[in-house]
């Protein structure tokens, strides 16, 4: 992926990793559009970043995707990069039953990127160079027991991305996967933003941008902090690591 001179859509751009990526890509010389559910959150980002653009999108609402894409392309006909970053992460106690959290998580984290990708792929394929970046998680490779559906959707996004990359290998569209570790954002609440166990957001973004600039190996953008999770299966101690990791994260 060229690090500059792109027109980039970033979903979930109103906060956290999405906002930080949007600001980093704008500094690198790109035209950036952030999308998210809340206009007020988007407006806050725009006020701090003159020249950035925004569009309201409820990624969970399947019926809204096609109209959103049509309106977006009418405004930004040079769109050539989409970063599927929007997501939710909520704890679940499966023994207590209830599907509400699971259904919202699947609609947002899995169906949302698939639907939006379907709507935008004809545009991307028509560009001389284009990039799709999905955002999975280290938990795609070693699940967090407290968030089973979140972990499952990220594992599915990883599989979807690998298949998409293979299907598009002879086209102008590059497919990358960004798999964050535990990062200091408010994804699971305010306490996460200052949790010393989490990677500082600025450090994460700095490493990610350097990896993108140099070309990620096998299409996977992996900061050093996430590699133990990514390589857990190959370590020979997957089940022991799973237990140790989940016990540590429970405290």
150 flagged as catalytic: yes
CB atoms within 10 A of CB 249: 14
3-class state of residue 11 by DSSP: strand
DSSP 8: E
In order of 138, 183, 228, the CA distances from 242 in angstroms are 12, 19, 11
Closest CA to 78 of 171, 24, 175, 5: 5
CB atoms within 10 A of CB 203: 13
Closest CA to 154 of 130, 202, 197, 187: 187
Residue carrying the six token digits 């299409």: 219
Residue carrying the six token digits 């590699």: 227
- Residues 25, 203: Cα–Cα separation, whole Å: 15
What is the number of alpha carbons within 13 Å of residue 234 lying toward its C-beta?
5
The β-bridge relationship of strands 7-11 and 81-84 is: parallel
- Residues 120, 116: Cα–Cα separation, whole Å: 6
Active site residues: 150
């Amino acid at each position: 992926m060229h690090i500059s001179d792109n027109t980039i859509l970033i979903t979930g751009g109103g906060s956290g990793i999405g906002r930080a990526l949007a600001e980093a890509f704008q500094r690198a010389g790109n035209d950036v559009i952030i999308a998210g559910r809340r206009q007020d959150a988007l407006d806050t980002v725009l006020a701090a970043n003159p020249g950035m653009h925004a569009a309201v999108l409820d990624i969970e609402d399947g019926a809204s995707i096609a109209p959103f894409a049509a309106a977006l392309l009418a405004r930004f006909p040079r769109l050539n990069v989409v970063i599927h970053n929007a997501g939710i992460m909520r704890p679940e106690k499966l023994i207590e039953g209830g599907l509400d959290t699971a259904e919202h998580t699947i609609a947002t984290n899995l169906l949302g990127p698939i639907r939006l990708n379907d709507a935008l792929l004809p545009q991307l394929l028509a560009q001389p160079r284009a990039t799709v970046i999905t955002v999975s998680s280290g938990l795609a490779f070693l699940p967090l027991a407290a968030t089973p559906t979140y972990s499952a959707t990220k594992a599915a996004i990883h599989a979807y991305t690998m298949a998409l990359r293979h299907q598009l290998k002879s086209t102008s569209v590059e497919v990358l996967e960004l798999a964050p570790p535990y990062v200091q954002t408010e994804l699971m609440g305010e306490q996460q933003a200052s949790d010393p166990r989490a990677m500082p957001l600025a450090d994460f973004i700095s490493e990610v941008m350097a990896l993108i600039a140099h070309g990620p190996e096998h299409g996977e953008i992996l900061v050093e902090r996430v590699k133990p999770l990514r390589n857990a299966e190959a370590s020979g101690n997957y089940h022991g690591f799973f237990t140790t990791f989940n016990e540590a994260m429970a405290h």
